[in-house]
Amino acid sequence: MYKKLSLMIIVFGLLANVAFSQGYAFRVLASKGKNMVKTSGSDWQTLKTGAKLNKGDQVKLEANGYVGLVHASGKTMELKEASTYDIAKLSSELGTGTKNIASKYADFVMSKMTPEQKEQNRKKYASVTGAAERGANDAAINLYMPQSVPVLSKSVVIRWEPIKENAVYVVSLKNLFEEKIMVAETSDPFYTIDFTDNKIKDAIVENLIIVNVALKDDASTASKNAAIDLLSGDDAKTYEVELKSLEENIGSATSINSLILAEFYEEKGLTLDAITSYENAIKMSPDVEYFQEAYDEFLIRNGLKEPEN
């Protein structure tokens, strides 16, 4: 009986390995331009986001094209040069390996960007009374962040909905006692807060920072105050171990890897960290619309931005 059980385990293990090896090599997470794919025995066809690519396939990029790929193992790759790529060769460059934690979050990206899921997000937003309470979009200036949010990163981007052209905004940071830490002006509808800056670091009380944004020429046109809770000690360690593992698996900083990090942060309820990752993705690939679209979908499903009509 024991020998028979052992044999069954070996057989099932072999079958699992065969199934993995026969599966797809890559999935297309993002695509820009008139990119094409050719499968065995077929003509060139338009490459679509979400498509699965096998080792016998080829992908062709035209000038200024872009393709973001997720390997079956969870590793990522970006194609930016106009050329014809052999999927088997690309797969071999990444080496072999089983699925890792990055694959899990890549799956999340795919599932949330389907037309069905995006439609569901809009229906959910429309049906929730008071959805704006999570953010500040019932104030004169809508901050794209909850009114209270934990933060793990040492630097984050806050963004708000522009009020008018050529506007100048005043970003104010205060501590728990309403004492001003820093005031900055910007003509952009976003601002980066660096928590390692001594002006900020030395003035923080109980790891809390209060953020407010107002028009320079009209202080009454302002956002609500939003509280940022800087995670430290055991609270930070709760996330840091898994985050380190994820970062080691995805490798260098790229747009597609920033998207995967954003999914991690969203799952953990670290909304502002997720926003910063989306901002990084767009900054690295400003001409790839997919990243902005994914960012907008994130804001909508989290009740921080109203969907466009």
Residues 211-270 pLDDT 10s: 999 999 999 999 999 999 999 999 999 899 999 999 988 888 999 999 999 999 999 999
Give CA–CA dist 122/131, Å, rounded: 12
* Model confidence pLDDT, tens digit, residues 105-114: 888 888 888 7
> So what's the pLDDT on residue 118?
76
**Out of 4-18, 106-120, 150-164, 224-238, which region has the weakest mean confidence (pLDDT)?**
4-18
Paired residues of 61 in beta bridges: 83
Per residue in 160-215, pLDDT tens?
A: 999 999 999 999 999 999 899 999 999 999 999 999 999 999 999 999 999 999 99
Residues 39-94 have pLDDT tens digits of 987 899 999 988 999 999 999 999 999 999 999 888 899 999 999 999 999 999 88
Measured distance CA(61)–CA(41) in Å, rounded: 20
pLDDT for position 231: 96
Q: What is the pLDDT of residue 134?
A: 45
Q: Which of 47, 93, 75, 128 is nearest to 246 (CA)?
A: 75
Query: What's the pLDDT score for residue 98?
Result: 58
pLDDT reading at 137 higher than 70 = no
22, pLDDT greater than 80: no
Structural contact between residues 78 and 281, judged by C-beta atoms closer than 8 angstroms: no
Between CA 62 and CA 57 the distance in angstroms is 17
CA distances from 274 to 40, 150, 295 (A): 39, 11, 9
**125, 150, 278, 142: which is closest to 213 by C-alpha?**
142
pLDDT classification of 9: cutoffs 50, 70, 90: very low
The answer for residues whose C-beta is within 8 angstroms of residue 202's C-beta and 6 or more apart is none
- Domains of the chain, by residue range, sit at 2-99, 111-129+233-301, 131-230
Residue 146 pLDDT > 60: yes
Please provide the CATH number assigned to the domain covering 131-230.
Answer: 2.60.40.10
What does the H/E/C string look like for the chain? CHHHHHHHHHHHHHHHHHHHHHCCCEEEEEEECCCEEECCCCCCEECCCCCEECCCCEEEECCCCEEEEEECCCCEEEECCCEEEEHHHHHHHHCCCCCCHHHHHHHHHHHHCCHHHHHHHHHHHHHCCCHHHHCCCCCCCCECCCCEEEECCCEEEEEECCCCCCCCEEEEEECCCCCEEEEEEECCCEEEEECCCHHHHCCCECCEEEEEEEECCEEEEECCCEEEEECCHHHHHHHHHHHHHHHHHHCCCCHHHHHHHHHHHHHCCCHHHHHHHHHHHHHHCCCCHHHHHHHHHHHHHCCCCCCCC
- Res 125: pLDDT: 66
pLDDT of residue 131: 45
Average pLDDT, the chain: 86
Between residues 196 and 104, which one has the greater pLDDT? 196
* Token pair for 289: 């619309």
pLDDT the model gives residue 249: 85
Residue 136, pLDDT score: 44
pLDDT surpassing 50 at residue 20 = no
Q: Please tell me the predicted confidence (pLDDT) of residue 14.
A: 38
| Integer Rg of the chain from CA | 23
Least confident of 3-12, 132-141, 195-204, 290-299: 3-12
Report the predicted TM-score, pTM, of the whole model to 2 decimal places: 0.85
